[in-house]
């Protein structure tokens, strides 16, 4: 079921008649991490829609107080949830996702649900083979305990500093941690970790669908969680699609590139790509 907040955003987007821009957040973040992006896209004439994952709390404080609300969400469940959101829109949207949101954005594009897609430091889909050491270290807070599959797992500041905020100052890293970081469901990381051993993995992306639409993949040069090797491997698989497929690396940026002080450069890059096709 869609939340009242989601339904209100859908109604506003449909009433205005503009092309919707659906933003998909990843693990350890909430929809509010996209607020500044939404304002930029609205100014450019799009109708921003920022759905939560199922049962997402409204605020960071609420999420940290009630982490159990975030537990137990799988990639397939969240993809179907966003598909349901898109199904209520009267116009096919642009879809923009970060991290696991970038994986979800590609799943939705593979279903033919977006008119243009931007995947930023996207989590790997089934068939993406590299296993960078930094990615394994970033996922270790979840994957080292099998019981975390059914839990929502918080990050310590040091873990957040390594996996998200390694390319900013410690002062900014602490500010980002306090403002944005929430517990995250463990299931998606376990699903990604065994995707290439599971032929029925929910992380599978239909890279060949001719209705996929234009796709841009963005990689942060210093990203520990999803380094260039992973994003480039996804690009090589997506590049076989007949639609436009592009990749760009943003110099000097880590996994927090959508929320840190340099967010506007990444936002403008995504918006510039979308405006070429929409």
Q: What is the predicted pLDDT for the residue at 130?
A: 86
Tell me the residue range of the domain where 67 lies.
4-277
Q: Would you say residue 151 has pLDDT above 90?
A: yes
Q: What is the predicted pLDDT for the residue at 65?
A: 96
Q: What is the predicted pLDDT for the residue at 259?
A: 98
Farthest-apart Cα atoms in the chain, separation: 47
Report CA-CA distances (Å) from 157 to 154, 161, 162, 182, 257. 10, 6, 9, 11, 17
CATH of residue 67? 3.40.50.1820
Distance CA 71, CA 67 (A): 7
Q: In what order do the strands lie in the sheet with 20-24?
A: 47-49, 20-24, 94-98, 116-120, 215-220, 245-250
Q: What is the predicted pLDDT for the residue at 103?
A: 98
Cβ count near 262 (within 10 Å): 18
Q: What is the predicted pLDDT for the residue at 253?
A: 98
Q: Would you say residue 142 has pLDDT above 90?
A: yes
Are 81 and 54 within 8 A, CB to CB? Answer: yes
Q: What percent of the chain has pLDDT over 90?
A: 98
**Selection from 36, 86, 108 nearest residue 270 by Cα:** 36
Q: What is the predicted pLDDT for the residue at 82?
A: 98
Q: What percent of the chain has pLDDT over 70?
A: 100
Q: What is the predicted pLDDT for the residue at 131?
A: 85
Q: What is the predicted pLDDT for the residue at 1?
A: 81
Residues 59-67: contacts with CB under 8 Å, at least 24 apart: 59/30, 59/32, 60/30, 60/32, 60/179, 60/180, 60/181, 60/182, 63/30, 63/182, 63/183, 64/154, 64/182, 64/183, 67/151, 67/152, 67/154, 67/182, 67/183
Q: What is the predicted pLDDT for the residue at 211?
A: 97
Q: What is the predicted pLDDT for the residue at 107?
A: 98
- pLDDT tens-digit profile of 98-122? 999 999 999 999 999 999 999 999 9
Number of domains in the chain: 1
The residue-averaged pLDDT of 26-44 equals 98
Distance CA 163, CA 146 (A): 20
Cβ count near 61 (within 10 Å): 10
Distance CA 124, CA 270 (A): 20
Burial (Cβ within 10 Å: 0-12, 13-18, ≥19) of residue 42:
middle
């Amino acid at each position: 079921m869609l939340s009242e907040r989601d339904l209100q955003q859908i109604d506003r987007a449909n009433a205005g008649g503009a092309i919707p821009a659906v933003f998909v957040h990843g693990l350890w973040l909430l929809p509010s991490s996209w607020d500044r992006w939404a304002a930029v896209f609205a100014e450019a004439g799009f109708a921003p829609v920022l759905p939560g994952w199922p049962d997402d709390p409204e605020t960071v404080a609420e999420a940290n107080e009630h982490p159990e609300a975030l537990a137990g969400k799988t990639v397939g469940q969240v993809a179907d949830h966003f598909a349901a959101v898109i199904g209520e829109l009267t116009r096919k949207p642009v879809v923009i996702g970060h991290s696991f949101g970038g994986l979800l954005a590609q799943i939705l594009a593979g279903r033919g649900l977006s008119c243009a897609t931007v995947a930023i430091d996207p989590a790997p889909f089934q068939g993406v083979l590299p296993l960078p050491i930094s990615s394994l270290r970033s996922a270790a807070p979840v994957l080292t305990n099998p019981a975390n599959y059914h839990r929502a797992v918080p990050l310590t500041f040091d873990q957040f500093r390594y996996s998200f905020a390694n390319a900013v100052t410690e002062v900014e890293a602490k500010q980002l941690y306090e403002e944005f970081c929430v517990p995250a469901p463990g299931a998606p990381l376990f699903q990604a970790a065994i995707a290439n051993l599971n032929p029925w993995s929910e992380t599978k992306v239909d890279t060949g669908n001719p209705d996929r639409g234009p796709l841009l993949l963005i990689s942060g040069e210093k990203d520990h969680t999803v380094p260039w090797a992973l994003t480039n491997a996804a690009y090589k698989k997506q590049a076989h699609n007949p639609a436009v497929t592009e990749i760009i690396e943003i110099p000097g940026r880590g996994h927090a590139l959508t929320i840190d002080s340099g967010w506007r450069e990444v936002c403008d890059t995504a918006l510039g790509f979308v405006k070429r096709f929409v």
